């Protein structure tokens, strides 16, 4: 049975690094990579924000396919925080490993990881790989 890697993706430098690492690991193991962009949805999102997320997912899909990695990309709008969406998706889909990018600008942030990544690390049903570059 093929392993499933889940990448929380926003298009940020850190999430691109997480995507790159997941691609490298999948190339060596034959795993499938699922890329998820979480959004609150509803009237608070502008058409421009929705288009940006769609473009980010298209970039992620092309990035994976250029190395022949089996992949799926989804935009999830459940009204939850991104960390909650990732954990729920992982639980619902028997994900084997989660990749998230974290931004660390100061020594304080090294201790207090962004709340979304922290939520995933503490609540995920599987191992979590964090990338900070």
Tell me the C-alpha distance between 88 and 48, whole Å: 26
- The pLDDT tens digits of the residues spanning 35-60 come to 999 887 666 778 888 889 899 999 99
Percentage above 90 pLDDT, the chain: 67
Range of the domain at 60: 4-131
Residue 105 has pLDDT above 70, yes or no: no
**pTM, 2 dp:** 0.90
Task: Tell me the β-bridge partners of 77.
Answer: 39
Q: What is the CATH number of the domain that holds 84?
A: 3.40.50.620
How far is CA 105 from each of CA 83, 93, 113, 133, rounded to the nearest angstrom? 20, 33, 10, 11
* Number of structural domains the chain divides into: 1
* Gap between the Cα atoms of 40 and 21, Å rounded: 26
């Amino acid at each position: 049975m093929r392993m499933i890697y889940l990448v929380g993706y926003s298009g940020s430098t850190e999430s691109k690094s997480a995507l790159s690492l997941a691609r490298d690991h999948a190339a060596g193991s034959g795993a499938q990579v699922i890329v998820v962009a979480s959004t609150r949805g509803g009237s608070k999102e502008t058409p421009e924000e929705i288009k940006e997320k769609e473009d980010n997912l298209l970039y992620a899909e092309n990035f994976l396919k250029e190395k022949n990695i089996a992949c799926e990309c989804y935009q999830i709008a459940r009204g939850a925080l991104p960390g909650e969406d990732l954990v729920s998706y992982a639980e619902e889909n028997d994900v084997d490993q989660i990749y998230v990018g974290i931004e660390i600008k100061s020594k304080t942030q090294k201790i207090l990881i962004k709340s979304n990544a922290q939520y995933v690390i503490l609540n995920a049903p599987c191992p979590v790989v964090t990338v900070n570059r």
